[in-house]
Amino acid sequence: MLLLVFHVKEDCYAIDSINVKEVIPLLNLQSISKAPEYVAGLLNYRGTSVPVIDLCQFLKGKQCNQYYNSRIIIVNYISNSGTALLGLIAENVTDVLRQESSELKSSGVKLDTSPFLGKIVLKEDGMIQTIELDKLLTNELAKLLFT
């Protein structure tokens, strides 16, 4: 499996690249009035309106910094109602990692508030937490963003 690695503040995360459509630079977004703070806005992606989530705000409560290597990751999000495009803002989106599925380890922690946290990759210099995209959004948030 090929993982796209990125940072959310000081923590390292990864998603399966099979879900990634494209990684693009930070662009201006159309704001969405009264949306939760972590909904960064809407992106015009090749003529399609795509909702964008700020992963730093979503996971840490602080906006992602606009570093040179901060990016919007366009993913195919699969929900009960089908597949839709979703943008994810993250910091330091510069790496891919080839990892056998069998080498991913359970973190030993399962939080009801974070069902999207998947297995971890143990590296000499730290851990990489995987994110299960299909569990990232609550049903309510998915309805808000994709109706």
In order along its 147 residues, the chain shows pLDDT tens digits of 999 999 999 999 999 999 999 999 999 999 988 889 999 999 999 999 999 999 999 999 999 988 889 999 999 998 777 889 999 999 999 899 998 888 889 877 777 778 899 999 998 888 999 999 999 998 888 888 887
What distance in Å separates the CA atoms of residue 127 and residue 143, rounded to the nearest whole number? 33
Spatial separation of the C-alpha atoms in residues 25 and 57, rounded to whole Å: 18
Q: What is the chain's length?
A: 147
- Token pair belonging to 1: 């499996």
- Contact status, residue 52 vs residue 43, Cβ threshold 8 Å: yes
Torsion angle, alpha carbons of 129, 99, 86, 113, to 10: -30
- Give 111's contacts (C-beta < 8 A, 6+ positions apart): 117
Nearest to 50 by CA among 81, 17, 21: 21
**pTM summary value:** 0.92
**Angle subtended at Cα 51 by Cα 2 and Cα 110, rounded to the nearest 5 degrees:** 55
